[in-house]
Every structure is written in structure tokens, then in C-alpha cells.
Structure 1
């Protein structure tokens, strides 16, 4: 099956011509991760000389160095180099779900015109690290197509009810908020028609700067007008969860500085905090670790699939269940901070699922 990948590309223009930064940004990220130019060159598959020529070329373009060497401490990015890497990470964090959905739509359009297209399954899912990892596994299956679209919890359920997808991947919290969320969930799903497939759990909490300089320990700290916050977009499941948690703590979001500022993904929230544009944000631990932030656990969520009972008998669904319940995928999830696998692939009725996780 034809695969499409859409990525944002930067072009800087001077008095002569535009210059693409794709190779440079990837290489600067390698330097930031490894701490040495030599290691970054090896990881990027280029010679040491070519690596320095690349850095020198762009330093000349900007009229400002992008990296600096310190004896005994390797190579580090300058403020400008770090800003470029952060901007690239932030851009991808913001746009990846939308670009993915556009690419997926184009893939399906092309597939409709090609012979011998493998059977596919439509998954509408709340965006997350575990579902993105699952897609990597599904794409390795030669005789299995996947049409994965990222959308909010509510939109995924709407799609499932309208039969616009076979699987909806959504999330519900544990503990005190479970009953409220479960009530709304049950109102949508006829227990005789739908089934739940276990997937993963994920930890949600506050993401704060490394070292937690403002000593933030929970939502109560957000009452302080000097502490700035970055929120998720309206309609997202994470935004809804946050609002329920704040209500539980008797905190009016309107008193939180920056509450009206939103980002579209967990990673974009983390990038916002990492660059000092906010003191705290709410999201998954994996995003905090990705951007070298501290994480304050607040609640754990179940992230699971819902489908109509007959869908369980399709070969594509059976293969998906085999993958998520298999050791390779479990190991992959184990590398995602704050994620864990307990009953992945286990099929339950709606009633038994909600009862066992109340």
C-alpha cells in the first residue's frame, strides 16, 4: 500500500536565494542529544568534515554561531542553535496530528484507485504516544491496511456511532472522576452492541521546568497569579479532564494566569513550558520527559478501544489484538514514560470494563 508522509519544511531567505534547513535542523537535534559533534555526525551518517562544513555554512548565513565547543565538555548549541531546534520541535508537536490526518486521507484516496489493496481498519483516536507507536507496528504488516485519524474523545465516539470507523480509541480517568466519566460514556454505548478492547494506561499530571524552581506540587499552586499556565484546546479529552479536576479542587480556571492560551498536543504543551513561555502545563508524562521537564503525577487514565461486537470477528481486528497483546508491543510501550500495559488485547463488555476500573 502506498504510504504518504507530510512534514513541515523551513526555508530561510536572504538577498540571494531561499535555503532549506531540513538537514541542519536534524543535525542540530543530534548535537543536542549527544553532546558531541563527532557522535552527532556518526548518528546522522555524515563525515566529521561535512558536519563542520554544514554548521559553518549556516553560522555564516545567520552571522551568528550555532554551536560552541568547550574543552572537556563536548559541543553544545548556542542560544540561536537551541532556539532553532526548539522551534522545529514545537512546530512538529503542533502540526503532526493534522498533517498525519491529511496524509491518511490522501493515502485512502490513492488506495481506492489501486488494485490489490489489503483489507484495512478505520481507527479514530485521541492523539497519544501509545497509539502512534501502534501505528508503527501496523505499518509493518504487509497484508493489513490502517486508516488512523486523530481526533478528540467525543469526535471519536461520534464517528463510531455514525459507523465512520470500526475502532474508537478513547481515554477515561481512574479514581474519583471515574464515575462521572463512566456515566457519560455508558449513555453513548449500548452494552449489547459494543465491546471494549484493553490497550494501555497513561499517567497524567503537571509538567514544570526541570528542577521545579517554583515548587509546584499540585493545582493549588496555579491560584498564584505569578505562575503562568498553558492549556489544551477546547474539546480535547485532556482539557475536559483538567476542567473536571479543577472543579474537584474548587478552582475556577478563570483565575489561572494563561488559562486561555492553548496548544493542540501534549508535546506542544511540553515544548511551550520547556522554552519558558509558561511555568506549567497539563499532559502525559511521556511529553514531559521528551522535553526534559519535571512531572507531577495527578491521575492515571485508561486508554482503550471501543467497537461493535461483530468487528471482533474480522481478521484485521484479530491481528491488531495479537499485536497489542504481544511481547514486542509491550516492550515498546515500556519505553514510553508513564505508560503501562495491563490488559492489552483483553475483550470485555462495557459493563464489566467500567465495573473493573471503577
Structure 2
């Protein structure tokens, strides 16, 4: 199997000078997390002396120290070093899924010229942490390839309807907004030919700074507390869901400070809050925990896959279903805060699936913030 990874390089130039610096942000991030230069060296698979020399060179280039070392207290980043690391976190969160899409496009173009001809499953799915976990397990399966593209909810269903993908990953809220969203999907679903593969549920809500200093516990508090908000892009399913919640609570988006400031992934908006460029955002709990944020739960979503009935009879999709039902997948999902595997891998008709969740109770408004575990 051929897998392609595209990585970014941070190369700094000084105007009018040939001098450059290539900063390995992974080293600085490891120092921030562990307080140990030795851990950063081990993580980068470099010698301690080489890592120390790199840090010294970067500090000399910028004219500002990046780390501080105190006897008995280890090594910490300076405010400038912290700023570089958080900029890197935001960049990776923002560009990661886009780079994965580009890498997949390149792999798809190259593979026909190689002797390897595995069975390829084309997956168009809304971006999510559980989808990434499934992809990791599928990549280890011999003789099966995954062409995964991250797209919005509606675009994934459009792709399936047009024959551009084999599996469409979709998320659907429980509670008061469910009927509204089902109605929007009806034009793309074929109850006779489409089948639903259950996957996971995930918790959606407000990501706030550790300790929740603004005491945000509801959507109304975004306006009342004059909180700085960072939003998702207009094409994302999460942005659509947020707009629906605002309408449900009769909140004018124009009154939210920063509602027009956008980022493109759950992790990107979480990183934005964690780096103190915003006070709050809306997204999945797993992203909040990843960046050490508190989380105010607002609702639960079902994430599932849709495929054609005939596709279920093929060997590749049966292997995907077997992985979903396996213990390794269950353990992987259990490690994601706010995610729960729910009858993962079970297949139902569209009608059966929708009827199975019609009795869900609407989530209570104003749920209290929960602290990181």
C-alpha cells in the first residue's frame, strides 16, 4: 500500500539577509508539554546536544530567547516560544484535513501506475475524530485501500447520490433539531437503495477556557458576557448546526462578538481559544479536551455512514464493518472524549435508522460546564 503524507515546514527569512531559520515546532511543543529538553530530543530522535544547539541557533536568529532553564525546575518556553508553538498548533489544526485531502488526491493519481491494485473504498465524510481513528485501522489492513476526502454533510450525500463515493459520512443531531435536518437530507437519500451503517455518537457544545472564567453556560451567555467567539466556515455541517441552535434560541448572530471570524476544523477553533485569540467556540468535546479546554455540552449527534445496498455485498465493505465491530475500534473510540460507539457496524434501512432514534429526548438547555478529565 502506498500512503502519502504532506508536512509543512516553518522557514523564517530576514529581509535583506540570506540568513534563514527552519524551526522544528515539534521540539518546542515537547518542551512545553514535558519541561524537559531530553524528552524533546528523544521525541525528535536527535541527540540532546543537537537539540540544544538548534534552540540556541533559533534564539540567536530571532534575537529573543525561546526557552528558559532554571535549576531544579526544568526547561520552559518563553512567551515568544509559546506564541510560536500555538501558531503551529493553529496551523496544523487548520490545514491538517486539507493536506490529507491533497495527499489522497496525489495517491489516487499515482496508484494506477504501480503494481499494487488493492480494493479501494471511496469515502466522502464530514471531518471528525472517529473517522480519523477508523482510517488509521483501515490503513493497516492488507489488500484494501481507502480514498478518504473530507467534505461537508450535504456534499458527502451528493457524492453518494452521484456515484462519486461508496461511503458517505454524515452527522445528525438528536433532540429538537433532528426533524429539521432529516428533512434537508431527504432529497439525497433513496430509502429503497440506501443503507445506514451505525458508527458513533459525539457530544457537541461550547469550548471555553480552562476554569470557564466568563462563566459561560448557555448560548445566551455568548451575548450577555460579550465573549470573543470564533466560528466554523459557512459550508461545514457544524456551522449549519450552530446557526440552527441560534435560531432555536432566538439569538441574533450579529450580536455575537467574532461570529464572522472563521476556522475550518473542530481542532482549529479549539486551538484558537486555547491560544487566547478567542474566549469560546462551538464544536466537539474531543477537540476541547485535546487543547485542555472546558466544555459546555449542548447536544448529542449521531455520526453514521450511508451506502448503496449493492455495495454491502462486496468484500471490502464487509471488512470495514468487521473493523467497526472489533474490540480495537471500540478501544480507539473509548479514548476519544465525548465519543461513544453505538451499535457500530450494524446495518439498517433508512426508515429503520430514523425510527430508531425518534424517541430521543431533547437536550436540556443551559447545561453546566464539565471540567477536563
Query: RMSD value over aligned CA atoms?
Result: 1.4
Q: CA deviation at 1:257?
A: 1.1
| Mapped pair 1:120 → 2:120 | yes
Aligned partner of 1:20 in structure 2 is 22
CA distance in 2, matches of 1:57, 1:156: 47
Aligned partner of 1:299 in structure 2 is 299
- Contact residue 230 and residue 261 of structure 1 kept, 8 A: yes
CA distance in 1, matches of 2:275, 2:21: 25
Aligned partner of 2:215 in structure 1 is 215
Q: CA deviation at 1:165?
A: 0.1
Aligned partner of 1:51 in structure 2 is 51
Q: CA deviation at 1:17?
A: 3.1
Size of the aligned set, in residue pairs, is 356
CA distance in 2, matches of 1:73, 1:290: 25
Q: CA deviation at 1:18?
A: 2.7
Aligned partner of 2:369 in structure 1 is none
- Contact residue 65 and residue 78 of structure 2 kept, 8 A: yes
Aligned partner of 1:147 in structure 2 is 147
Aligned partner of 2:82 in structure 1 is 82
- Contact residue 125 and residue 156 of structure 1 kept, 8 A: yes
CA distance in 1, matches of 2:39, 2:232: 36
Residues 33, 346 of structure 1: CA spacing in aligned structure 2 closer, same or farther, 3 A cutoff? same
Q: Deviations over 1:142-161 (max 9, x none)?
A: 21011000000011011011
CA distance in 2, matches of 1:311, 1:218: 43
CA distance in 1, matches of 2:72, 2:219: 42
TM-score normalised according to structure 2 size: 0.92
CA distance in 1, matches of 2:98, 2:6: 10
Q: How does 1:229-240 map to 2 (within 5 A)?
A: 229-240=229-240
- Contact residue 224 and residue 256 of structure 1 kept, 8 A: no
Aligned partner of 2:137 in structure 1 is 137
- Contact residue 216 and residue 225 of structure 2 kept, 8 A: no
CA distance in 1, matches of 2:56, 2:76: 14
- Contact residue 30 and residue 44 of structure 1 kept, 8 A: no
CA distance in 1, matches of 2:91, 2:75: 25
Q: CA deviation at 1:9?
A: 1.3
Q: Which runs of 4+ in 1 moved over 4 A?
A: none
Q: CA deviation at 1:107?
A: 0.5
Aligned partner of 2:367 in structure 1 is none
Stretches of structure 2 that go unaligned for 5 or more consecutive residues are: 359-373
- Contact residue 333 and residue 339 of structure 2 kept, 8 A: yes
Q: CA deviation at 1:340?
A: 1.1
CA distance in 1, matches of 2:205, 2:220: 13
SS in 1 for 2:113: coil
